[in-house]
Amino acid sequence: MRLRPLALAAVCMTMTAAHAQPTESQDEPAKAPTQIDDIVVTAQRREEKLQDVPLAVTAFPEDQIQARGIDDVGDLNALAPGLQISKTPSNTTISQVTIRGVSQINPAIYWDPAVGIYVDGVYIGKAQGSIFNLVDLSRVEVLRGPQGTLYGRNTLAGAINLVTRAPSGEFGGSASVEVGNYNALVQRASVDLPRMGIVSLSIGARSEQRDGWVDTPRDASVPELNDRNNHGLRIAADFDFAPGLVGEYRFDRSRIDQTNNFDQLYRIEIPFLQPFASRERLERASVDAPSFERSEVQGHSFTLSWDLSDRHTLKSISGYRRLEWDDSLDLDGSPLPVVWTQRFTDYDQVSQDLQLLGAFDRWNYVVGVYYFGDDGDTDNPQSFFVIDPGSDAYFDSRYGTQTSAWAGYGQVDFRPLDALTLTAGIRYTREKKEIERTFGLRADPADPFFYLIPEGTGASETFDATTPTLSAAWRFSPQLNVYVRYAEGFKSGGFNGEYSEPPTGNETPEEFAALIARNIAETQTPFKPEQQQSVEVGLKSSLAGGRLMFNAAAFHNTLEDFQASIFLGTGAAATAVRNAGEATIQGIELEAALRLGGTLLMANYAWLDPEYDEFIDAGVNVADNRAFVHAPEHSFNLVLDSELLRRDWGVLRAVLDYAWTDDFYTYPYQIEVTNPGLQVARDTEVQAHGILNARLAVVDVPLGDRARGEFALWARNLLDDDTATNFIDFGPVFGSLTVANFEEPRTFGISGVVRW
């Protein structure tokens, strides 16, 4: 269950509480500042005030995280301008993260994301399993635009930094319980232990259970769909080894075992399936195939910081993460055995980042060396389109991927004048990608598989890139800072792990041999890296005595060799990644926060204008007739937090949060129908819609001498929006079978928190 309303309310409440105007009563809770607080970020690998950083960054401190219910990456959708996050069709633990119109839509592990996600400085290698429980989040930073210098590979569109809370070294903690409709129960606990010698330790846990909101009949393969059953654990230990020598160990574990996101049959031209299709969100359905989604993520990181002097620090960030991820999907959304697929993935990654940071008078610098390696395998058995007797098709589809990447980087800031800061940086990355692929098919489960891509088929390729950045910032006053920035980013190349072209059954022996050769050749032919160049102009300001914050950014980006995920409509729902061409993306982003007495208004808005300059499909440039995906033209978020009453027993606050997203396409298909044999983009278009969350809470309630309490009523998706938010379209060759995932129905409940 995603509890953004409750958390959202909390965040705004905390901010309002922190900045509300003083009242006259001497018995009321402690009064808070009347200005908007400064937020410290590490977007440039060192601590800086958010308003001083010469790039577009949105940051959420701990109070906002608690108030908005941000538990994972999926909860960030629309909370920053230009940020669009979807969950991949069928799943709840795979993210599709888009910043400024640049994204990835294929969840397979051979495909790299366009936005880098970091947890305590450790890069998360794949989108699969990237939505997991994060306990004790302290700060979230969304860096928009290419971050290829300081963050490197696969930060083509930007980066998201997730920072967890450091132990305090003093006894304290919090505990909360939240109950809601669909028998939802969320429990959280976090404890800081007193310092023990050189060690400060904290432990946090989170548990969530909820019934599914899609009921099924007794003869279905599962008793319900879209339920929740997940658990998260985090351990943090800080070590003061010696003066100036500090170690930080972080462990996180997330276990999810629940049914998958129901693939509702949305559109179909096969007559016997049409009775099961609906374009309205269904809350009762039946499926026949096993349906589950299981994800277990474990992460270890150790950061060692050594202060060489007062102004120079050597830092090492070591990381290891492991993912075990399985799912089983009924892809026709009906009780008939038409389409069934499974994925079983094991994935490991290691990383090491060695940094030297420091300052000389008017100079700041960071230099570093970085290594990343991963190894993953997916077993993807499938049964497709069992429609007529004798037409069954069973596939043995497996692929594995390995990466070994090295990088060296550096960035320098220089202030020739007190008001002027010049920045230059560069990164060189070199990485080796490897693929292993097996693909076989049979018509009967009793038959042996015939392999078009035999086991042991593989290939390797080395890619490299140099990604610079340049910027200039001018501070007109302590309250006004403007900047211009040029930056580049790249997303690595690789190999197609899901390509398959099956036989028609009419091939001659020579044609059959050629078919096998084509399958092997397509698997062994690499696609090139995708690259982006960006020019950004921005303004950051603090006005009206600190009661108004206003930031703006305008950008013009160019994409080269962009990687398009193309559904081929052959074999085991084959997909291929193609370097389709070039694109230009421009836009404007605005952020504002205004405090008026006991009311805080926060808002952001993004305008996006993407277009293809070249899109090569089958040797033809179809740039004017292909959809740009996950790129709404307009989007905005409004948060109104109002203090209704302040007394000695607490503060009564009401919060309304509304996020609106314009319509957008989910696949790069044709817009105008020029080829009836291909999918049409508008058939899988997400309609413009908004989500309203609300919360009414009593916060800062004194509970004895050392504890404070909070009680809240909340609702998420208060207006019960039922928009279809993602799709799978198998195309005309498969009867235009299309399934959809929808916004979850309205959820509501109560929560209680104790902090000490």
Number of H helices, E strands in the chain: 3, 40
> What amino acid occupies position 397?
S
- Residue 427 pLDDT: 97
Q: Is 602 helix (H, G, I), strand (E, B) or coil?
A: strand
Rounded Cα–Cα distance for residues 290 and 324 (Å): 18
Q: How far is it, in rounded angstroms, from Cα 665 to Cα 283?
A: 25
Contact in structure between 567 and 573 (CB atoms under 8 Å): yes
Burial of 673-704, coded b for 16+ CB within 10 Å and e otherwise, reads eeeeebbbbebbbbeebbbbbbbbbbbbbeee
3-state secondary structure labels for all residues of 47-107: CEEHHHCCCCEEEEEHHHHHHHCCCCHHHHCCCCCCEEEEECCCCCCEEEEEECCECCCCC
pLDDT of residue 686 exceeding 50: yes
Would residue 78 be called left, alpha or beta, if left means φ above 0 and alpha means ψ between -120 and 50 degrees?
A: left
Closest by alpha carbon to 467, among 545, 540, 370, 396?
370
Percent with pLDDT over 90 in the chain? 77
Condensed to tens digits (0 to 9), the pLDDT of residues 363-397 reads 999 999 999 999 999 999 988 765 554 567 889 99
Structural tokens at position 568:
């081929």
Backbone φ and ψ for 9, nearest 5 degrees, come out as: -60, -40
- In this structure, the strands spanning 115-119 and 158-164 are parallel
- DSSP conformation letters of 273-303: GGGG--SSPPSB----S--EEEEEEEEEEEE
The first and second tokens of residue 363, run together, are 């100079």
Mean pLDDT, all residues of the chain: 90
Which of 66-75, 96-105, 389-398, 466-475 holds the top average pLDDT?
466-475
Res. 581: pLDDT tops 70: yes
**Long-range contacts made by residues 382-385, C-beta under 8 angstroms, separation at least 24?**
382/340, 382/341, 382/342, 382/572, 382/573, 383/337, 383/339, 383/340, 383/341, 384/339, 384/340, 384/341, 384/572, 384/573, 385/338, 385/339, 385/734
- Cα–Cα distance for residue pair 295/94, rounded to 1 Å: 10
Task: Report the phi/psi class of residue 619: left, alpha or beta, with left for phi > 0 and alpha for psi in -120 to 50.
Answer: left
How wide is the angle at C-alpha 255 spanned by C-alphas 236 and 111, nearest 5°? Answer: 95
Q: With bands split at pLDDT 50, 70 and 90, how would you rate the model's confidence at 49?
A: confident
**67 pLDDT tier (thresholds 50, 70, 90):** confident
Average pLDDT for residues 604-610, to the nearest whole number?
Answer: 97
pLDDT score of 510 more than 80 = yes
Q: Which of 39, 11, 5, 106 is nearest to 641 (CA)?
A: 11
Percent of the chain with pLDDT over 70: 94
Residue-wise pLDDT tens digits, 294-317: 999 999 999 999 999 999 999 999
C-alpha R_g of the chain: 26
- The strand ranges marked E within 182-338 are 184-192, 199-210, 214-215, 224-225, 228-242, 245-258, 264-267, 292-307, 312-330
Asked if residue 160 has pLDDT above 70, the reply is yes
d(CA 273, CA 385): 12
Tokens coding 248: 């930080």
Bigger pLDDT: 22 or 530? 530
Q: Is 341 helix (H, G, I), strand (E, B) or coil?
A: strand
Work out the number of other CB atoms within 10 angstroms of the CB of residue 383: 19
Name residue 427's amino acid: R
477-496 residue pLDDT tens: 999 999 999 999 999 999 99
Measured distance CA(452)–CA(440) in Å, rounded: 6
Domains and CATH numbers, the chain: 4-279+300-398+411-444+466-755 (2.40.170.20)
- Please name which of 655, 671, 672 lies closest in space to residue 716, comparing C-alpha atoms: 655
Query: What is the helix (H) or strand (E) element at residue 747, kind and residue range?
Result: strand 747-755
Res. 31 pLDDT band, cuts 50 70 90: low
For position 347, what pLDDT does the model report? 98
The first and second tokens of residue 671, run together, are: 């817009």
Q: Which residues contact 673 (CB under 8 A, 6 or more apart)?
A: 680
pLDDT bucket at 576, cuts 50 / 70 / 90: confident
Tell me: pLDDT of 5 over 70. no
pLDDT in tens, 646-677: 999 999 999 999 999 999 999 999 999 999 98
Nearest partner of 225 among 127, 293, 140, 274, judged by Cα: 293
Is the pLDDT at 11 greater than 60? The verdict is: no
- Reading the block at residue 180, the tokens are 């809601």
